[in-house]
């Protein structure tokens, strides 16, 4: 096999790796003063990695003897990952510069880039070894990012909890991978699928269960969701926005690839696991959010809830279901980033962040445009028509219905009503309650304001204009998984 052709197919990861290493050297010499320049250069590196997807990196096929897949499915996921990572870098400087004196350090964008390398390997994995290396590279960077604010005890606690529970999940995943390897004799996805298709043993079934358990932790699906609210609350808000978007895409896309490519013949076995995790995540994510008073913890439970909806499409086990998952992820990333961009604007007159939901009281009278944007985000997350978030839920439930999972779809739709309550409670707080205190400081960043406006416009009925292009792209990406 041509080694040069293999390197070309992995060009996005090469660009990100070289960029991260060079910027790390610049950070060592430039110090704190180089933070902003390094941040914008990191954004340019992510753009370069996105451009590198054009060509063999998105259509080259298999590289390094099955270890890596350069296909449309991976390319779709990487576009979402790189976009979310870029936003997480862009919004960080103002947050750190105005919060507790713990200014942005140049390691932050470097860690984001290294995490993006790991996520790229995750969604392109064609082998259990590639899967694990990519997942751990992403996780190691994430542990540091969660505890990035050295002067905040909550941030240190978030990083420690994430690390300990992440290590436990990695152990579970490794045990499952060892079972799959032991009973199939291979770590390559295509060969594992052959083993499952030849009448798999109980050992392979147990391996399947443990692998899915480890992956469920990474995407914070119930019952492996326990870390999410604490980490989301304790981590710096730009990091929380990153956790809620890019790693979620990588984890769900990886789960889809493992389920379809490696364990496709065992669809009846893993479908039961996915249906349970989906319904449990939808119900617990909705119920857990009802009593929350912190906006970041509420959005943490919202992310658990939305993972459940994304898994509805995977349960279908078809190309239409995978395409629906990709569409859902694309819309979900915008909803999540838009929501956290608004959370960044929740600052008192002294410039310090405010996270209490009650602080939104009367926002429609003090900052009507910000309140309108927040309403669009919340109603989209709830799946209320005619906003674009409704189409995301429609796509995954329609895929489940087409796969004859009528009861599953009906229960999922009924459970989604629970989640609408806490989203509507935010609207009630903003539009009906009387203003509490002096309110928030005026928005100071035109860039963040522009990103909020773009997110709101995409999630408005204008977003439906993107359905033809998004549908064609997502279906083309999904069909790669079903040769």
E strand or H helix at 68: strand 68-70
**What's this model's pTM, rounded to 2 decimal places?**
0.93
- Please state at what angle helix 35-52 crosses helix 11-30, rounded to 10 degrees: 170
Domain that holds residue 269: 3-479
- C-alpha count within 13 angstroms, C-beta hemisphere, residue 424: 8
Give CA–CA dist 292/340, Å, rounded: 16
* Pairing status of strand 61-63 against strand 68-70: antiparallel
Give CA–CA dist 375/373, Å, rounded: 5
Using alpha carbons only, give the angle 381, 385, 390 rounded to the nearest 5 degrees.
45
Q: Which two tokens stand for residue 330?
A: 């694309």
Q: Shortest CA distance to 212 belongs to which of 129, 126, 162, 270?
A: 270
Number of domains forming the structure of the chain: 1
SS3 (DSSP) at 125: strand
Using alpha carbons only, give the angle 325, 242, 163 rounded to the nearest 5 degrees.
100
Tens digit of pLDDT at every position of the chain (483 positions): 578 888 889 999 999 999 999 999 999 888 788 888 999 999 999 999 999 999 888 887 888 888 999 989 999 999 999 999 999 999 988 888 766 455 678 889 999 999 999 999 999 999 999 999 999 999 999 999 988 887 777 888 888 888 888 888 899 999 999 999 999 889 999 899 888 888 767 888 898 999 999 999 888 898 888 888 888 888 888 999 999 999 999 999 999 999 999 888 888 888 999 999 999 999 998 888 888 888 999 999 999 999 999 999 999 888 999 999 999 999 999 999 999 999 988 887 777 788 888 888 888 888 889 889 999 999 999 888 899 989 999 999 999 999 888 999 899 888 888 888 888 888 988 888 887 766 777 777 788 889 999 999 999 999 999 999 999 999 999 998 887
SS3 (DSSP) at 71: coil
């Amino acid at each position: 096999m041509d080694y040069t052709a293999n390197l070309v197919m992995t060009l996005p990861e090469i660009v990100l790796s070289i960029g991260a290493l060079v910027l790390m050297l610049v950070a060592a010499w430039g110090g704190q003063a180089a933070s902003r320049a390094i941040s914008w250069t990191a954004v340019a590196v992510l753009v370069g990695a996105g451009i590198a997807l054009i060509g063999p990196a998105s259509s080259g096929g298999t590289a390094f003897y099955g270890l890596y897949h350069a296909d449309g499915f991976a390319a779709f996921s990487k576009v979402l990952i790189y976009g979310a990572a870029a936003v997480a870098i862009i919004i960080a400087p103002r947050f750190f510069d105005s919060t507790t004196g713990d200014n942005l350090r140049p390691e932050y964008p470097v860690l984001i880039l290294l995490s993006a390398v790991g996520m790229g390997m995750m969604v392109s994995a064609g082998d259990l070894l590639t899967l694990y290396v990519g997942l751990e590279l992403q996780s190691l960077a994430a542990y540091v990012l969660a505890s990035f604010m050295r002067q905040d005890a909550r941030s240190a606690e978030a990083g420690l909890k994430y690390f300990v529970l992440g290590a436990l999940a990695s152990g579970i995943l490794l045990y499952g991978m060892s079972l799959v390897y032991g009973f199939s004799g291979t770590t390559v996805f295509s060969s594992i699928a052959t083993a499952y298709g030849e009448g798999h043993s109980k050992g392979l079934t147990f391996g399947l269960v443990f692998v899915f358990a480890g992956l469920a932790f990474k995407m914070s699906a119930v019952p492996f969701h326990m870390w999410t609210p604490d980490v989301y609350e304790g981590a710096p808000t730009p990091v929380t926005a990153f956790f809620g978007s890019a790693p979620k895409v990588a984890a769900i896309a990886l789960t889809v690839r493992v389920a379809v490519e490696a364990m496709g013949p065992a669809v009846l076995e893993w479908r039961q696991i996915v249906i349970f995790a989906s319904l449990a995540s939808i119900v617990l994510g909705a119920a857990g959010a009802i009593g929350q008073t912190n906006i970041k913890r509420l959005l943490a439970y919202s992310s658990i809830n939305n993972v459940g909806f994304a898994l509805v499409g995977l349960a279908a086990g078809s190309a239409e279901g995978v395409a629906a998952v990709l569409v859902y992820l694309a819309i979900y990333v915008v909803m999540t980033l838009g929501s956290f961009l608004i959370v960044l604007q929740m600052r008192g007159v002294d410039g310090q962040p405010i996270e209490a939901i009650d602080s939104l009281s009367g926002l429609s009278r003090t900052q009507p445009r910000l309140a309108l944007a927040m309403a669009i985000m919340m109603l989209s997350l709830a799946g209320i028509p005619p906003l674009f978030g409704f189409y995301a839920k429609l796509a995954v439930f329609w895929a489940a219905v087409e796969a004859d999972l009528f009861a599953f779809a009906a229960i999922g739709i009924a459970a989604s009503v629970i989640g609408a309550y806490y989203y509507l409670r935010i609207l009630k707080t903003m539009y009906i309650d009387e203003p509490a205190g002096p309110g928030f400081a005026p928005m100071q960043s035109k860039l963040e304001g522009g990103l909020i406006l773009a997110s709101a416009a995409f999630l408005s009925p204008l977003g439906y204009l993107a359905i033809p292009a998004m549908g064609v792209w997502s279906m083309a990406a999904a069909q790669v998984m079903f040769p």
